[in-house]
A and B are shown apart, each in its own frame.
Chain A
Amino acid sequence: MAFVPGQPVTAVVQRIEIHKLRQGDNLILGFSIGGGIDQDPTQNPFSEDKTDKGIYVTRVTEGGPAEVAGLQIGDKIMQVNGWDMTMVTHDQARKRLTKRNEEVVRLLVTRQSLQKAVQQSMMS
C-alpha cells in the first residue's frame, strides 16, 4: 500500500456496510479511528509505511456494529460513503463518519491480509 505522491493508489478493498446503533441520542459505529493528514503518521502502529497519513481503525468495540459488519482493527479506511479518506484531517474523517442523518455508513477498507490473500491467489 505504499504510495507514491502523484500516483494513483491501488489497493485491494473490501466493502463494509455498518448500520449505526442508537445509543441514547447518539448513533454509534462502534470503532475508533486514528490518523489523518494532521496527525503524526509515525505513531500509527498499523501502517506498514510510516509516512502514511491515512485514517486507520484503531479499536473496534467487541460485538458492536462495526465488528458485526466485519471491520477490523488496523483496517485502513479508503472511502466513507464515497468520500475519499486518504487525504483528510482526523476531524474531517470523524465528521464524515458521524453524520447524524446517515444511519448507514458504507466503507471501503483495505488491510494487509486482503492484500496478501490476493497476492497469494495470484501467485498460485
Chain B
Amino acid sequence: MKDLACTSDSPVHEQSPSNQTSIAMMQEPQEMVEETVTVEEDPGTPTSHVSIVTSEDGTTRRTETKVTKMVKTVTTRTVRQVPLGPDGLPAMDGSSPMGSYTDSIDRRYLKNGERYITPQASSTLTRSYNSYNDSYPESHEGQYRPYLGHDGYGDLSDNYGSLSRGVGYRPRYAYVPGSAYRPDDGSFTLPSRRDNYGPVAQPQVPVGSNADLNRSQPERFQPEPYGLEDDNRSLGVDDEGYELDPDYSTVNRRTSAGVPERGRPHKGRGYEEPMEPEMVEERIPYLHGGYAAPLAQPERGSMASIDRLGKRSPSIDSIRKDPRWRDPDLPEVIAMLSHPIDPVKSNAAAYLQHLCYENDKIKKDVRHLKGIPILVGLLDHPKPEVHRKACGALRNISYGKDNENKVAIKNCDGIPALIRLLRKTNDMEVRELITGTLWNLSSYEPLKMVIINHGLQTLTNEVIIPHSGWESEPNEDSKPRDAEWTTVFKNTSGCLRNVSSDGAEARRRLRECDGLVDALLHALQSAVGKKDTDNKSVENCVCIMRNLSYHVHKEVPGADKYQELDAGQTTGTGGSQKKKKDDAGCFGGKKAKGKKNGDLDRNFDTLDLPKRSEAAKGFELLYQPDVVRLYLSILTESQNFNTLEAAAGALQNLSAGNWMWSTYIRATVRKERGLPVLVELLQSDSDKVVRAVSIALRNLSMDRRNKDLIGSYAMGELVRNLPSRQQRSAKNLEEDTVVAVLNTIHEIITDSSENARSLIQTQGIQKLVAISKSSQSPRETKAASHILQMIWSYKELRNALQKDGWNKSHFQSVSAALKGSKGPAGRSGYDDSTLPLVEKSQDNEKSGSRDMIPMDELGPDGYSTIDHRDKERKYKSSDPSGDASEKEPLKNDTNRKNINRSNRASVNLVDARDIKPQPVDSWV
C-alpha cells in the first residue's frame, strides 16, 4: 500500500472560509444578473452566474454557478421579474429590498417553480429548514420571517442550486411562507438558517467554482498509502467565494454526526413526486411575498424563495433575525443528493466531499446512511457539475483504511460506473477524480480483480496510452511524443500498480492488455530521456513493470519453449528445471514468437541474442534484453528509493529462472556495464534498495562470468552491509536485508574458491562469526553459518584462515548450532525468500559441500522477487518484489514470514493452481 501512497501531501485547504459572514454576502445578489431560465423539464437547472460577494472578511469571492438550461428556457435578465413559480412561488421581486438579489434567486424559483417549483430549489435549503423546523421549530420560524421581508432570502433561492450562494441571499427571502415549502423537500433545504445552512451553501459554491476548487487543490494525498482525498471545500471554491462558506464547512463536520437524524422521509423520495403536490398547495401560500406577481401572495414578499423553504420553517423570521444558519446534518445532506434540482445535488455532493475529508467517522456514517449508492448513481448524471461533485465525494470516501467504504462502492457497482464515466468525460478534473478514486479502491485486495475486469482496457486506452506518448502506429512524420506526467496518469498508474500485485491471473491480464506494456515502457524511456525519473508516475510505472516481470519465465504463453534444458549454470539444477518445465507446459498453447535456440546459447560470454523476424511487442517487451539498458538508466539516474528498488527488483525478476531470456538478461547486464551500477547501490541509505540490489546480484551470479566479477568487485560492499559486533551495521539494516546479503555472499562463494578468498580478504570472516554466534536473529545466524561452512569446505583456504587465527570450531560450531536450533531456526531460515530451500535436508550431511545450497531449489522461485502467491502477498515486504507497492508496511512484517514459508513450501502447488484448467468460458 505504501506504494500507493502518494508521497506528496497536498496542502489541504480546509477552510471554512468565512462562513459566518454569510449575511454579508447577501448583497451580492444584487450584483449578479441572473438570467432566469425557465426550464420546464429541468427544474433544477440553474443558470450560471458569477457573483462576487464580499465576505465579511473583506475578501472577495467569486462564485460561479452554472445553470443548465432546459429546453424551454426563458431567460430573464433582470433582477426583479419574478415570475411565479408554478409552485406558486412567487417570483417575487419586489418585495424585499434585497429584491434585486433575490430576484435572481427568485427567478429561479419561478422558473423552477414552474416546474419543480423553485421552491424546491430553495427547498434545498428550505427543506432543511423545514426539517429543522421540525427539529428546531422554534426560533427559526421567527427568524425567517424577518428575513423574508428582506432581501436576503432571495438569494437563497439562487442558492438552492448552489448552496453557497444561497447563503448570502437567503435572508431576503423571507419568503415566508415557509409554510408553503414543501416540507417534503424540505428536508433538503437548508436555507433559512443561514448560519447553519450557510455551510450547506458552500457546497454549492463549489458548484460553480468547483472546478476551480478542485483543481486548486488537487488531491490531497496523504502520505499514507494510497489515497487521494480532497476537501472540496477547501478547494473549492474560490472559496472565498462562497458566501456561505463560512459556516458550513467546519460546522458540519463537527455537527453532522451529532445531528439527529431526522427522518427525512423525503430524502430519497422522489422529490418531485411527492413534492409537487405539496408544492402546489404550498405555492399558493407562497405567493404572497414580494413576488406577488407570481403567486401573488405577498405575504412575505420576496421571501418567496424562502418561504418555500420556510414554509416549513416558520423560522424564516427567525432567520432573518438571527442571521445564523445551521448546517445541514448528514442525513439531510444525503437526502439532498436525491433532490430534484441538480444544483442541490451537486452542492450536497460537494459538501459531502468536504465533510468526509479526513474524517473517517463521517465516511462511515455516510455509508450507514446509504449515501454511497446514491453518489454512485449520480456518476451517470448527465450534468458535469453533478457527476463531478459525486466523484469528488466518492474519492474522499474511498480513501482511508476503512475498507468497508471501498466495498460499499463496489457493491453498488461503483467501479463500472466510474469506468463508464471515464470513457464518457473529457473533463480533466473529472478524470482525475475518477482515477483517484480507483487508485484508492485498488488498495484493497478483493477489489483488484474487479477493477481489472471492468476497467483495465479502458484505463489503458483512455489514460495510459495517450499520456505515455506511445503510439501503436507511429506517424512517420511526427516525432515520438514524450510522456505527460499528469495527475490522471499518476493516479491511473498507481491504480494499475496496485492491481498488478494481485497474483498470477492479474499479471496475465495486465501483460495481455493491448498496449499497456508498450506504453509503460515508452513512458519510462521518455522519463529517462528527459532525466525526469524521480516522480511518482515513474515510480508507479517501474513498479508495474517489476510486478509484471515476476515469473515471466513461467507464466508467459509459450514459456516452456524457452526453457533451458541443461543445468549448466549450477549444480543440481536439473531437477528444478524439470519442474519448471512442467509448469510452463500448462500454459502451452500459444507459441512464443521468439526463436528458441536456448540450447545453442550456452556460452555466456559470447552471447548471441536471438534474431527476431519482427519487433517485440506487448508482454514480450518485458523480457527483451533491451529493457536492461532502461532499468540501468533508471538505477543510475533516479533518486527515488522506491523507483530504485523496483528497477533493481525488475532486474532481479528477469535474471531469475532458467529460461533462455534470463540467460540473455544476465549477460546483458554485464555487457551494459550494469554490475558497477548495482554494486554502487549497495551503498544506498535505503534498506530496501540494498536488499533488492543484493538479491539481483545473487541472481545475476548464476552467470559464471558475473559471479567472478561480482566476487571481485562487490564483496567489499556486501560485507560492509553486514552488522559488526557493536552495531547492527552502519546503516542498521533490517533482518531481511542482512539475510539477503548473506545469501548473496553464499551464492557468490559457491563453486568459487576465488570468491571465498576475497571474502576472507575483506575481513568478512570476523563479521560472519560474530553473526553466527551472537545474532539475535536465527535467520541471520543460520545464513551466516552456511557461509562459514562453505568456506571451511575449501581446503585450500584453511591455511590462510588459520593464519588469521581462525580454527575449525569457528566454522563447525556453527553447524552444531544449526542442528541444535534446527527446529526453530530451520524454518525461519526459509522465510527468506532469497535463501535456497535446500538446506534442511542437507545441512547435516553435507556440511562441507557446495551442495548445501543447491540453486535448483531456489530455482526461479527463490530468486524471483515477487511471490507467487500473491494472494498472500503480504509477504512482500520481505521481497523487494513488486507487490510491495501495495502493501502496507505494517503488514509486511507480520505477514512475511508466514507467507514466505507458505510460498516455498507450496510453490509448486500454487503454480499448479494457477495452471489449473480453466472452466469453460465462451465468448458470445
Contact = CB atoms under 8 A, between A and B. Distances in A.
Interface stretch (B65-73, B411-419, B523-531, B778-786): B411-419
A117 B373 contact: yes
A103 interface: no
A40 B920 CA distance: 9
A90 B922 contact: yes
Contacts of B453: 59-60, 73
Interface in B910-924: 918-924
Given A62-B457, A62-B458, A113-B413, A90 B920 contact: yes
Interface in A83-114: 90, 94, 97-98, 112-113
Interface of A is mostly: mixed
Interface string B453-485: 111111001000000000000000000000000
Nearest to A68: B420
Contact of A33 (B413, B456, B924): B924
A94 B922 contact: yes
A33 B919 CA distance: 10
Nearest to A120: B370
A116 B411 CA distance: 9
Interface in B356-371: 370
B412 A31 contact: no
A98 B458 CA distance: 26
B423 interface: yes
B132 to A, nearest CB: 22
Given A62-B458, A72-B413, A39 B920 contact: yes
Interface string A3-31: 00000000000000000000000001101
B411 A28 contact: no
Contact of A29 (B419, B921, B924): B924
B785 to A, nearest CB: 46
A98 B413 contact: no
Given A59-B453, A62-B419, A62-B457, A32 B924 contact: yes
A58 B920 CA distance: 10
B919 A97 contact: no
Nearest to A73: B453
B277 to A, nearest CB: 23
Nearest to A72: B416
A32 B453 CA distance: 12
A33 B412 CA distance: 22
A63 B922 contact: no
A32 B921 CA distance: 6
A86 B471 CA distance: 45
Contacts of A40: 919
B455 A62 contact: yes
Given A62-B454, A124-B370, A113 B921 contact: no
A111 B919 CA distance: 20
Contacts of A34: 919-922
Contacts of A59: 453, 921, 923
A97 B924 contact: yes
A63 B458 CA distance: 8
Contacts of A113: 411-413
B455 A32 contact: no
Interface in A30-67: 31-36, 39-40, 43-44, 58-60, 62-63, 67
A49 B259 CA distance: 41
A34 B922 CA distance: 7
Contacts of A29: 924
Contacts of B411: 112-113, 116
A34 B370 CA distance: 32
Nearest to A94: B922
A112 B370 CA distance: 16
Interface in B479-516: none
A32 B454 contact: no
B413 A32 contact: no
Contact of A32 (B370, B456, B923): B923
24 contacts: A28-B924, A31-B923, A31-B924, A32-B924, A33-B921, A34-B920, A34-B922, A43-B918, A58-B921, A59-B453, A59-B923, A60-B453, A62-B454, A62-B455, A62-B457, A62-B458, A63-B457, A73-B453, A73-B454, A90-B920, A94-B922, A94-B924, A113-B412, A120-B370
Interface of B: 370, 373, 411-413, 416, 419, 423, 450, 453-458, 461, 918-924
The 5 closest A-B pairs by CB, nearest first: A43-B919, A97-B924, A62-B457, A32-B923, A94-B922
